[in-house]
Structures are given as C-alpha cells and as structure tokens.
Amino acid sequence: MEGSDVAAQGEPGASAEVSDGETLGASDAVKAYLGDAYDGVARYAEMLRDQGELRGLIGPREVSRIWERHILNSAAVVPYLPASGSVADIGSGAGLPGVVVAAMRPELEVILVEPMERRTTWLTEVVAELGLTNVQVKRGRAEEFHGAFEVDAVTSRAVAALSKLVRLSMPLVRVGGEMVILKGRSVAEEIEPARKVLQKYGSGTPDVLDGVTVEGVEATTIVRVRRAK
Ligand SMILES: C[S@@+](CC[C@H](N)C(=O)[O-])C[C@H]1O[C@@H](n2cnc3c(N)ncnc32)[C@H](O)[C@@H]1O
C-alpha cells in the first residue's frame, strides 16, 4: 500500500453518530476509515463478539463495545507504523492491536507474540479465517525471542508499564526502529521511571501522540520511542 493510502486510513473521517458497538461497526464512517480492510476487520469483530467471552479473551462488559474500545482503539496505532517492513505485536492476547494492524496493512510482515497457548490457538484460527498471509503467530514470552529475531517496529497494548515494556520489547527492535505503544492517558507518569532503560538504547524522551480514528470515537494515547543504539 502506498503512503497516501496509509494516510487516508489514519485520517479522521465522517462522524459515526452512534453509541451502540454493532451500529458503530456498520457505520459509513468506519467503512470509509477501514477501506479495503473493512471486511476482514468486521469478521474479526464478529468472531470476538461470538467467542471472545466464552474463550476467556475479553470480559463480559467488552462484548458490546468491541468496535470502540478494541478495534478502533487498536487501529489508532496504524498511521504511526512504518510504510513497509516488519512489526511484532507483543502480548497480542486476543489479537489487539496485531490482527487489526495486519488486516489494515497487508504489506507489513506481522508477528504476534503471545505466551498463552489458548490465545495462540485463537490467533491461529483468526489468521486462517481472515486469510491473513502476512502474519506469523509465535508462542512465548517476548524475552524468549531476544536474539532470535528483530523487527522494524513493535506494538503493544495493556501488557506492562513502560520501563518493563522497554526491557521486554526493545531487544526485538532493530537499531533505528521504534516501539509504538497504545497507552492510557496516565503514561506521562511511566516515562520518568523508564529513563534509565531508555538510555541503554540511546532513546530520548518518548513522543506522546494522539491516536485519532473515527470522529465521535474517543482518541487514545500512543507512545513512540526510537531505538538509537
Ligand atoms: C492484558 S493482556 C492484553 C492483550 C492485548 N494486547 C489487548 O490489548 O487486548 C496482556 C497479554 O500480554 C501477554 N504477556 C504477558 N507477559 C508477556 C511477555 N513477557 N511477553 C509477551 N506477552 C506477554 C499475556 O499473556 C496477555 O495475553
């Protein structure tokens, strides 16, 4: 996919004036935002809705807000990823944000890293169902892969505080690559405790960015930090 298409995917679109998750997922705004990726992402949302709670992947309260809290929240990371190359999603769990990234950016090679077998089984099923040919599922903790592979960027959501996340993830990032993390608004508090480990990789103060998707859907916070050594 060319850069202009990538930018279009990240562009805030028309308003989705709906509160119900299912309606949001079927809205023109979401369809326009996801473009060619819509069908695959919608199928993934359906799978999460139908099996997510049963299989212990998401809590019962999440079923009605899969699109806003999970799918679109994950999609917010996409405009900050490199145009091509490889991305590893650390602690992918149910596939967030990794499956959404892989569906929206088929030109990226995506590795989903997840230690729990129940979850890697699910991820493998999702990848097959969506026909994603750009995804590898690797079972294990991020630390187990240090020295085994390096990628252009790592993503993660809800895995650990920034200092721990840097220790887990940065060894998987090539020099010159980046960590691009979905975080809550309180991430500023995590930056100071992470300074020392960030120095080890020659990384300065992380960028704290707004992750905006479809109008009417709450923006998220994205932290981006480059590995310089
Ligand atoms: C709270 S879940 C978040 C899952 C998903 N990223 C999301 O946002 O829905 C945290 C996930 O990180 C995984 N995890 C925990 N420690 C890990 C590690 N050291 N390396 C890779 N994954 C890890 C857990 O198994 C779990 O699936």
Q: At what angle do helices 117-130 and 38-51 cross, to 10 degrees?
A: 140
Task: Supply 79's token pair.
Answer: 């405009």
- Which position has the token pair 């709450």? 218
H runs (alpha helix) in 52-161: 73-75, 98-104, 117-130
Binding region for S-adenosyl-L-methionine? 91, 96, 142-143, 157
93 CB within 6 A, ligand 1: yes
Half-sphere exposure at residue 218, Cβ-oriented, CA atoms within 13 angstroms:
11
Q: Which atom of ligand 1 is nearest to the CA of 116?
A: 25
Render pLDDT for 130-147 as a digit per residue (tens, 0 to 9).
999 999 999 999 999 999
Whole-number Å distance between alpha carbons of 88 and 90: 6
Range of the domain at 175: 3-226
Measured by CA distance, the residue closest to atom 18 of ligand 1 is 141
Distance 91 CA to ligand 1 centre (A): 3
The total number of structural domains in the chain stands at 1
Render pLDDT for 89-103 as a digit per residue (tens, 0 to 9).
999 999 999 999 999
Q: Which atom of ligand 1 is nearest to the CA of 159?
A: 10
Task: Supply 51's token pair.
Answer: 């099996």
- In percent, the amount of the chain with pLDDT more than 90 equals 87
Specify the pTM: 0.92
**Alpha carbon 192 to chain centroid, angstroms:** 24
The domain that holds 84 is classified in CATH as: 3.40.50.150
pLDDT, mean of residues 75-80: 98
105 CB within 6 A, ligand 1: no
Tell me the β-bridge partners of 112: 89, 137
pLDDT, mean of residues 122-131: 98
